[in-house]
Amino acid sequence: MSAKNEVTHTGIVKSVGEDGITVNIVVQSGCASCEIKGACSMSEQSDKELDIDCNPVGYNVGQHVNVRLKSSQGMNALFLGYVLPFIILLTVMIILSGQTQNEGLVGIISIASLAPYYLLLYLYRKQIKKKFTYVVEPLK
């Protein structure tokens, strides 16, 4: 698989279980590695934990690994997490704006309309997780 068709992060094995490992990765924005990042507030960095189903043999706590994900799977995650909720919010807002002149009510109901969506995501998280497959490789 070519590098432009996948997303790769370096991480550290946090725990090793019977059916997989937990990897801690540091996600950085493009300017997080900038030499003058202390001079502006644009740099962003966050820690993420990934539970990866794999054969845990050969992995140790504290080991550095590469975690890869297909770009298409990353786009699916982007769609589920950001695009679809935005479409729901905008659709409800447009429909309600035609029904009532109360902008406050329109805003509250539009935001509240996302609660069932995120509840469904939570309830189906195990099925969704199965669609995202990570490849883990030890760093040498």
pLDDT digits (tens, 9 = 90+) for 13-70: 999 988 889 999 877 665 555 655 555 555 566 788 888 888 888 898 999 999 888 8
Amino acid at 101: Q
Region 129-135: what's the mean pLDDT?
A: 82
Q: Where is 108: in which H helix or E strand?
A: helix 103-112
User: Residue with structure tokens 């189906």?
Assistant: 124
Q: Pick 34 or 75 by higher pLDDT.
A: 75
What are the backbone dihedrals phi and psi of residue 94, each rounded to the nearest 5 degrees, phi first?
A: -65, -45
Task: Give the range of the structural domain holding residue 67, as residue numbers without chain letter.
Answer: 3-31+40-138
Give me the number of domains the chain comprises. Answer: 1
Query: What secondary structure letter does DSSP report for 5?
Result: G
